[in-house]
């Protein structure tokens, strides 16, 4: 198994062995990736999960192989040749093809004919005999005439052909290489404009793009489209006849008719399901990967910490809900305002008064319905307020949070609608800390998210959240229960106990003291400790990403360097120790490998490093743009809101986001937009087209760069 996994993933066998051993020992993926690099050869979280996923697939295949062998043997049909073929099969589809003739079947035309005793008639056709010469001998209640008997014999031959492993493999491969996925408008289906391009659609299977596969699948579910895989049927039937028919005359005619019938009735529909299933599985995987990448970039948006924020949850009919949170995220005031009819004239004064009363530094406006109308009025209220700005915040999932158990526990007496405004305000202070409270699937940064495999989507998105939380680290004394629950090894139950212990006993003084929490044993502590942070605690190393098991190593290094973590001159001192070879001696003394040593050194030089610090901060504005202000050729700065296969949607400060098509991202060919931009990126764009009637703005990054 290790050899196969290593070959498929392009890694070494010893890396696979080390990873599987660590997983079998009950270690979490973040812990393995961060603190067991020597045993995995430095595999990252994605590679470790790929090893785990592929090993599970192989185990499932082996379990299925054993089940198939046992089933065939029980039927008394397991020959040495068949056993060898089953043992040699490398994929589930190969195994299922071999098992097809022996799989227990529901009642079919062929099984009905076999049960009536028509097998000898089918065998006569295979030998080249005229089936009508013996048909009368096999008449029965279900097959009363000669024509019915011969038709039943052909049904037996048709099903045998459709179950032939070699035939299935050949035709399936031909479908993949030569087939075309075709779709058309379903008779009586809606004339939905978003499916117009699929009303007369035909593309080779091997050239289908993921978004096309997903769109067609959705169109079929909505009963707008019908679709199928078209193949060179006559050529394939001729090939099958050439493979299976070794007789001539009238028997050949009957056999060929059976094959033609079996191809259209049994083989083509079965393999069409297989091939479309493969396309949809690949498309699901791609779409889930896009969602995961966008989510990761969204979670990694830099925090705007230490600011007093006014959160605005826009609304037209019901008005805008307001919430002011202090620099720590604590709710200090709420309010309401209307941005339509006669009451909208009061909005600038309401905003100005709240800013003045609470010393608001940033206004965070949700990007939902009414956001641009709200933005115009908020901008008026901020005029003349030196140093006060606003930002448009992606509010996806805010309503889900508002009605969640987490929100009810935080604000039991607060109206649901106002909780959304609190979430919007906090999102700009610390996007990660707030977004972990929401089901990742509710954060709309993907395409066709409701159509893909929901279990696979949940697993992938949960993995992204787990990886980001542990990469950033969590302050043990300020983190919420949902954030702590994402720390490696902790989970929901222990996170609640940690918060309860903190509330009852005050702040934790050290990482070590988290062991006092009921139920948090040595294994859990090993998994989580390196990802927890203690600010201003008694142990300086508790603020770093160094695991407590490496504290003796870190202390020896600091002692020899004569510095404390983060001191000026520490980097130079460490470089000198490395040149002299002393670092290697210290590492060997503590049994630390080169990768662990390197991580410890980086953490000592930058003890409070946050990977989000290297990314662009949120874009703050002080005035508003209107679509009427836009002109082709204008160059603006915007924020990437979503990335899809064909480009990126960018917020440039007007009502609708503009689209940078993949062809407008650079002066070179770009196959994958995700290689160029990510959600949350700040980009310079030039306006290339404006369609006010359809609400579309075309943007170009390559023209802006010229």
Give 10-residue mean pLDDT values along the chain (706 residues). Answer: 93 96 97 97 96 95 96 94 94 93 91 96 96 95 96 97 96 96 87 86 95 93 94 96 94 97 97 96 92 89 92 91 94 93 90 95 90 89 91 86 90 91 94 90 75 90 94 94 95 95 95 96 96 92 96 96 92 93 94 95 91 81 74 86 88 84 90 85 90 86 82
Which residues on adjacent β-strands are paired with residue 250? Answer: none
Question: Which residues are CB-contacts of 216 (< 8 A; sequence separation ≥ 6)?
Answer: 181, 183, 198, 201, 225, 227
CA geometry: angle 546, 550, 555, nearest 5 deg = 90
Q: pLDDT value at position 621?
A: 79
pLDDT of amino acid 704: 81
Q: What is the DSSP letter of 509?
A: S
Contact residues for 173 (Cβ-Cβ < 8 A; gap 6+): none
The pLDDT of residue 446:
65
Confidence (pLDDT) at 130: 95
The per-residue pLDDT for 645 is: 83
> Which residues 6+ apart lie within 8 Å of 62 measured at CB?
none
d(CA 127, CA 252): 10
DSSP H or E segment with residue 351: helix 347-358
Taking the CA atoms of 179, 278, 94 and 9 in sequence, report the sign of the dihedral they define.
Answer: positive
* Tokens representing residue 444 in the block: 């709309």
CA-to-CA distance for 441 and 655, rounded, in angstroms? 25
How many residues would you count in the chain? 706
One DSSP character per residue, 87-115 reads: HH--SHHHHHHHHGGGS---S-HHHHHHH
- For residue 503, give both structure tokens: 């509330």
pLDDT of the residue at 444: 66
User: Strands 635-644 and 647-651, how do they pair?
Assistant: antiparallel
Question: In this predicted structure, what is the pLDDT of residue 117?
Answer: 96
**The predicted structure's pLDDT at residue 208:** 95
Contact (CB, 8 A) for 121 and 134: yes
Q: How far apart (Å, rounded) are the C-alpha atoms in residues 306 and 359?
A: 12
Identify the CA nearest to 404 among candidates 370, 376, 438. Answer: 438
pLDDT of 376 reads 87
Q: Which residues is 322 bridged to in the sheet?
A: 312, 335
Q: How far is CA 25 from CA 20, 32, 35, 150, in A?
A: 9, 11, 14, 62
Q: Which residue intervals of 90-209 are DSSP H helices?
A: 92-99, 109-115, 119-127, 132-135, 146-162, 165-178
Q: Cβ distance 496 to 481 under 8 Å?
A: yes
- How many Å apart are CA 174 and CA 168, to the nearest integer? 10
- For 641, list phi and psi in degrees, rounded to 5: -100, -30
List, in order, residues 6 or more apart from 517 with CB less than 8 Å away.
494, 497, 498, 501
The whole-number pLDDT of residue 445 equals 67
| Residues 409, 380 contacting (CB under 8 angstroms) | no
Q: What are the CA-CA distances from residue 666 to residues 588, 662, 685, 705 (Å)?
A: 48, 8, 11, 9
Residue with tokens 């610090």: 613
Which tokens is 62 given?
Answer: 């082996």
User: 479 burial class (0-12, 13-18, 19+ CB within 10 angstroms)?
Assistant: buried
User: Cα-flanking dihedrals φ and ψ of residue 225, to 5°?
Assistant: -120, 155
Report the Cα–Cα distance between both ends of the chain, in Å, rounded. 52
DSSP 452: S
In this structure, is the dihedral angle defined by the CA atoms of residues 564, 568, 570 and 576, taken in order, positive or negative?
negative
**Neighbour-count burial for 420-455, b at 16+ CB within 10 Å, e otherwise:** bbbbbbbbbbbbbbbbbbbebbebbbbbbbebbeee
Rounded to an integer, what distance in angstroms lies between the CA atom of residue 498 and that of residue 609?
24
- pLDDT at position 516 is 96
C-alpha–C-alpha distance, residues 381 and 572, integer Å: 51
Predicted model pTM: 0.83
């Amino acid at each position: 198994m290790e050899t196969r996994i290593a070959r498929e993933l392009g890694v070494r066998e010893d890396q696979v062995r080390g990873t599987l051993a660590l997983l079998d020992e009950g270690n979490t993926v973040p812990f393995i990736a961060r603190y067991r690099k020597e045993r995995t050869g430095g595999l990252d979280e994605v590679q470790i999960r790929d090893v785990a996923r592929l090993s599970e697939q192989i185990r499932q295949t082996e379990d299925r192989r054993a089940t198939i062998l046992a089933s065939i043997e029980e039927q008394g049909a397991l020959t040495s040749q068949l056993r060898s073929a089953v043992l040699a099969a490398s994929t589930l589809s190969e195994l299922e093809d071999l098992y097809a003739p022996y799989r227990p079947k529901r009642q079919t035309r062929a099984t009905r004919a076999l049960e009536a005793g028509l097998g000898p008639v089918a065998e006569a056709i295979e030998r080249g005999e005229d089936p009508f010469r013996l048909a009368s001998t096999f008449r029965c209640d279900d097959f009363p005439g000669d024509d019915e008997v011969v038709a039943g014999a052909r049904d037996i031959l048709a099903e045998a052909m459709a179950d032939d492993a070699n035939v299935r493999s050949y035709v399936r491969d031909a479908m993949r290489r030569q087939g075309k996925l075709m779709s058309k408008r379903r008779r009586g289906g809606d004339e939905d404009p978003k499916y117009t391009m699929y009303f007369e659609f035909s593309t080779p299977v091997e050239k289908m793009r993921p978004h096309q596969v997903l769109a067609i699948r959705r169109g079929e579910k909505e009963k707008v489209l019908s679709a199928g895989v078209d193949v060179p049927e006559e050529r394939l039937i001729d090939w099958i006849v050439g493979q299976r028919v070794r007789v001539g005359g009238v028997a050949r005619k009957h056999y060929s008719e059976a094959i033609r019938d079996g191809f259209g009735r049994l083989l083509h529909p079965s393999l069409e399901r297989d091939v479309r299933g493969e396309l949809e599985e690949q498309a699901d995987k791609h779409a889930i990967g896009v969602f995961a990448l966008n989510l990761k970039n969204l979670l990694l948006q830099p925090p705007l910490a230490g600011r007093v924020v006014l959160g605005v949850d826009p609304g037209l009919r019901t008005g805008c809900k307001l919430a002011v949170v202090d620099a720590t995220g604590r709710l200090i005031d709420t309010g309401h305002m209307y941005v339509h009819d006669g009451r909208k004239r009061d909005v600038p004064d309401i905003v100005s008064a709240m800013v003045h009363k609470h010393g608001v530094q940033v206004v965070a406006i949700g990007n939902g319905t009414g956001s641009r109308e709200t933005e115009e009025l908020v901008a008026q209220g901020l005029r003349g307020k030196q140093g006060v700005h606003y930002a448009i915040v992606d509010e996806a999932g805010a309503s889900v949070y508002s009605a969640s158990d987490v929100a009810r526990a935080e604000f039991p007496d607060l109206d649901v609608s106002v909780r959304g405004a609190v979430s919007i305000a906090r999102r700009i202070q610390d996007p990660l800390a707030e977004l972990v409270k929401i089901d990742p699937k509710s954060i709309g940064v993907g395409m066709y998210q409701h159509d893909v495999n929901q279990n696979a989507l949940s697993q992938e998105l949960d993995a992204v959240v787990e990886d980001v939380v542990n990469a950033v680290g969590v302050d043990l004394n300020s983190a919420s229960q949902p954030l702590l629950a994402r720390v490696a090894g902790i989970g929901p139950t222990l996170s609640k106990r940690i918060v309860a212990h903190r509330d009852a006993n005050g702040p934790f003084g050290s990482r070590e003291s988290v062991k006092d929490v009921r139920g948090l044993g040595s294994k859990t502590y090993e998994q989580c400790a390196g990802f927890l942070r203690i600010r201003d605690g008694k142990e300086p190393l508790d603020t770093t990403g160094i695991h407590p098991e490496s504290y003796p190593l870190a202390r020896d290094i600091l002692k020899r360097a004569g510095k404390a973590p983060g001191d000026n001159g520490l980097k130079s001192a460490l470089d000198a120790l490395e040149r002299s070879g002393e670092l290697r001696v210290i590492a060997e003394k503590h049994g630390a490998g080169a990768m662990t040593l390197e991580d410890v050194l980086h953490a000592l030089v930058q003890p409070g490093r946050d990977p989000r610090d290297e990314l662009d901060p949120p874009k703050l504005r002080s005035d508003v743009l209107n679509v009427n202000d836009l002109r082709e050729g204008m160059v603006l700065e915007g924020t990437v809101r979503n990335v899809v296969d064909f480009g990126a949607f960018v917020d440039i400060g007007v009502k609708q986001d503009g689209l940078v098509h993949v062809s407008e991202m650079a002066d070179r060919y770009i196959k994958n937009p995700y290689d160029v931009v990510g959600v949350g990126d700040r980009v310079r764009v030039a306006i290339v087209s404006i369609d006010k009637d359809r609400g579309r703005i075309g943007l170009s990054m390559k023209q802006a760069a010229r």
